[in-house]
């Protein structure tokens, strides 16, 4: 299972992004500053944006799901329960996973952005699709839920999971890191080697890197373990 980008050029308005590379099975972090083209690339990979040139080749991918940054864009059901059903899932376990047990009859559009995000992410992760494209999965989540979804995303070992984010306080365990720099997708390679090539690592990772320590992965816990090992 993989996705191959060959001399891909994407354009939205005056903005242009170039990308080549292969996303293999595993969890990939695609990072870059605001406006760098993360959403543009995620839309193209989901088949929602036609490339100007080049191509995207999918191999052995049966299903793909895009999670948009704004969760209300996903809503089709008139209640939280029906929203879960619209994903062809059983409501009770998904509502529980989203911390919304007992609220199945509520209108999704009357929920807070954070609550709706929890519901959409819980639905998407419960479907265990081949390709998950998560555009800013942490936006609107509080710190506790950011940690919880980081854990769930990092535990996904089957399929291809692409995490497009500029989050800098909570990140999942990943296999590969990609960075968008000046209109081009750059592969930094596999973790942990990729961490040293990261031009804008989160503050907690930079603290370890500044001491010459390379954490095993990119979660705050990895940075803590690396620093504790050195102190010990």
Binding site for other proteins (CB under 8 A): 12-14, 33-35, 39, 69-70, 112-115, 118, 136, 139-147, 166, 168-170, 200, 202-204, 207, 220, 223-224, 227
Instruction: Give all strands of the β-sheet with 131-135 in edge-to-edge order.
Output: 53-59, 2-12, 15-24, 184-190, 176-181, 26-31, 160-164, 131-135, 64-67
**Which residues, including other chains, have CB under 8 Å from residue 176's CB and lie 6 or more apart?**
23, 24, 26, 27, 28, 29, 187, 188, 189, 190, 191, 194
Nearest distance from C-beta of residue 15 to other proteins, angstroms: 8
Nearest distance from C-beta of residue 123 to other proteins, angstroms: 17
Q: Which of residues 3 and 42 has its CB atom nearest to other proteins in the complex?
A: 42
Q: Which of residues 37 and 159 has its CB atom nearest to other proteins in the complex?
A: 37
Q: Which of residues 127 and 166 has its CB atom nearest to other proteins in the complex?
A: 166
Q: Which of residues 13 and 88 has its CB atom nearest to other proteins in the complex?
A: 13
Nearest distance from C-beta of residue 33 to other proteins, angstroms: 5
Nearest distance from C-beta of residue 98 to other proteins, angstroms: 11
DSSP assignment of 12-62 equals: ETTEEEEEEEEEESEEEEEE--TTSSHHHHHHHHTTSS--SEEEEEEES--
Nearest distance from C-beta of residue 70 to other proteins, angstroms: 7
Cα 206 to chain center, whole Å?
Answer: 21
Instruction: Specify the residue for token string 């390709």.
Output: 131
Q: Which of residues 88 and 231 has its CB atom nearest to other proteins in the complex?
A: 231
């Amino acid at each position: 299972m993989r996705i191959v980008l060959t001399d891909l050029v994407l354009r939205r308005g005056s903005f242009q992004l170039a990308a080549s590379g292969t996303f293999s099975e595993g969890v990939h972090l695609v990072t870059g500053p605001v406006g760098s083209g993360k959403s543009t690339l995620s839309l193209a990979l989901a088949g929602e944006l036609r490339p100007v040139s080049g191509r995207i080749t999918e191999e052995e991918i049966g299903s793909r799901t895009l999670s948009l940054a704004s969760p209300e864009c996903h809503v089709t059901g008139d209640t939280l329960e029906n929203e879960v059903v619209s994903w062809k899932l059983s409501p009770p376990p998904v509502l529980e996973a989203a911390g919304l047990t007992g609220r199945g009859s509520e209108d999704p559009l009357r929920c807070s952005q954070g609550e709706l995000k929890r519901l959409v992410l819980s639905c998407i992760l419960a479907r265990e699709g081949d390709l998950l494209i998560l555009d800013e999965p942490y936006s609107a989540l509080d710190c506790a839920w950011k940690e919880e979804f980081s854990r769930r995303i990092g535990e996904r070992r089957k399929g291809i999971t692409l995490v497009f984010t500029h989050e800098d306080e909570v990140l999942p365990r990943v296999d590969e890191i990609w960075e968008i720099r000046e209109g081009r997708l750059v592969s930094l390679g596999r973790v942990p080697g990729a961490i040293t090539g990261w031009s804008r690592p989160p503050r907690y990772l930079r603290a370890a890197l500044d001491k010459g320590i390379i954490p095993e992965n990119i979660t705050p816990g990895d940075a803590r373990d690396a620093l504790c090992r050195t102190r010990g």
